[in-house]
């Protein structure tokens, strides 16, 4: 059976980077796989979070899953901290992880760079991420490009555990889309579009109004060549906008190049904003209906029960394999 586990951290306002790299792929993946989609709130607190914001954002991410079209009847949707097995297997995986491996993680290096002190959890985070995935015996994990290294470590840890203690975990494969898996900032195409960037014009948020969307794309950096052509080496800003266009319109890059041949960036940027707004407005409407509803709470409660059942079975196997006393 093919099974998927993936999630989006409630560490900031969701933007079109997470949409292109994760949320949109989840929608097609749910047709083919048994899916667990979760809100990794334990990961969000590896950096300082305001409790009220964490609470709201955790519900937001769950509501966006449903508003975008994840079917809660087909998929298990839950909040990580409601399934204690994550924290417990996270600890066990830390015991299998080498200090040097964690130190090589580029996300840790980026997030800790220039800081006087960071939490120990920011360092050990990839071991918890491995636990998230291994608990569900996920065969596949859809992620954006920036999570590739964490997935490689997860695979190494699963294999290491299986070699030491006997076959316990499925070794998962990443699913990384060819389009939309690395959406860059609108202000600087050398930096990933990120929830933690304080410059609000660097990204389009999922809750931006059509006007804000238009303004942000109008301001997005381009280049002086004036041709809509994909070339990440010499035209990263325009290539990024083209990928975003492809994500929202469903058109191929070749079709986009053909459509805007011989034109400047003006109409391309306008159409891009319309394509994004057309896709996001219905999601926003559904999000507003659901975010504070009893329906959302019921889905999350049911999801936590189903997830616990699957996670607890794996946790028990892992503990028995390691020699813990279990009854």
Residues that bind ligand TYM (CB under 6 A): 5-9, 17-18, 20-22, 40, 43, 129, 132-133, 141, 143-144, 146-147, 150, 181-183, 192-193
Least Å distance between CB 20 and ligand TYM? 5
Our answer to whether residue 74 is catalytic in this structure is no
CA atoms of 77 and 156, how far apart (whole Å): 27
Q: What is the nearest approach in angstroms of ligand TYM to the Cβ of residue 279? A: 16
CA angle 197, 276, 254 (to 5 degrees): 105
**Which is nearer to ligand TYM, 127 or 299 (by Cβ)?**
127
Min dist CB 44 to ligand TYM, Å, is 8
* Residues in the chain, overall count: 327
> What phi, psi does 264 have (nearest 5°)?
-80, -155
Q: Of 9, 59, 192, 269, which one is the catalytic site residue?
A: 192
Q: Which of 2, 48, 59, 111 is catalytic?
A: 111
Active site residue 195: yes
CB of 133 to ligand TYM, least distance (A): 5
Residue number, 192 or 235, with CB nearest to ligand TYM: 192
Contact 41, 61 (CB under 8 A): no
Residue nearest to ligand TYM (CB): 21
Under a CB-based contact definition with an 8 Å cutoff, are residues 169 and 158 in contact?
yes
Closer to ligand TYM by CB, 72 or 185: give it: 185
Nearer to ligand TYM, 9 or 269 (CB): 9
Give dist(CA 141, CA 239) in Å, integer: 26
- Tell me if residue 250 falls in helix, strand or coil: coil
User: Cβ 140 to ligand TYM, closest distance in Å?
Assistant: 10
C-beta closer to ligand TYM: residue 132 or 208: 132
The CA-CA-CA angle for residues 192, 205, 11, to 5°, reads 70
Buried b / exposed e across 34-60, counting CB within 10 Å, b at 16+? bbbbbbbbbbbbbbebeeeebeebbbb
Does 319 participate in catalysis according to the annotation? no
Nearest CA to 41 out of 5, 76, 8 is that of 8
User: Annotated active-site positions, please?
Assistant: 111, 192, 195
């Amino acid at each position: 059976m093919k099974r998927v586990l993936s999630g989006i951290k409630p560490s900031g306002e969701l933007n079109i980077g997470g949409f292109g790299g994760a949320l949109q792929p989840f929608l097609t993946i749910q047709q083919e796989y048994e899916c667990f989609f979760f809100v990794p709130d334990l990961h969000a607190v590896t950096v300082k979070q305001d409790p009220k914001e964490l609470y709201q954002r955790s519900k937001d991410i769950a509501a966006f899953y449903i508003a975008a079209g994840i079917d809660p009847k087909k998929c298990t949707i839950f909040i990580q901290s409601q399934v204690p097995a994550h924290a417990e297997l996270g600890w066990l995986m830390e015991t299998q992880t080498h200090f040097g491996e964690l130190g090589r993680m580029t996300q840790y290096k980026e997030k800790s760079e220039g800081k006087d002190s960071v939490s120990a959890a920011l360092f050990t985070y990839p071991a918890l991420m491995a636990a998230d995935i291994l608990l569900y015996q996920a065969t596949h994990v859809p992620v954006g490009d920036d999570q590739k290294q964490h997935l490689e470590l997860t695979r190494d840890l699963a294999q290491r555990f299986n070699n030491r203690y006997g076959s316990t975990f499925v070794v998962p494969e990443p699913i990384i889309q060819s389009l939309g898996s690395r959406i860059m900032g609108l202000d600087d195409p050398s930096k990933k579009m990120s929830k933690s960037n304080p410059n609000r014009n660097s990204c389009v948020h999922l809750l931006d109004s059509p006007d804000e969307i238009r303004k942000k794309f109008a301001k997005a950096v381009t280049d002086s060549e004036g041709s809509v052509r994909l070339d990440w080496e010499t035209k990263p800003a325009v290539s990024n906008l083209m990928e975003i266009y492809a994500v929202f319109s469903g058109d191929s890059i070749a079709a986009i190049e053909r459509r805007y041949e011989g034109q400047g960036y003006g109409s391309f940027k306008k159409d891009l904003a319309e394509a994004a707004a057309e896709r996001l407005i219905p999601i926003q409407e559904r999000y507003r209906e659901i975010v504070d509803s009893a329906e959302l709470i019921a889905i999350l409660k049911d999801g936590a029960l189903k997830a616990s059942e699957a996670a607890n079975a794996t946790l028990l196997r892992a503990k028995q394999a390691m020699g813990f006393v279990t009854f």
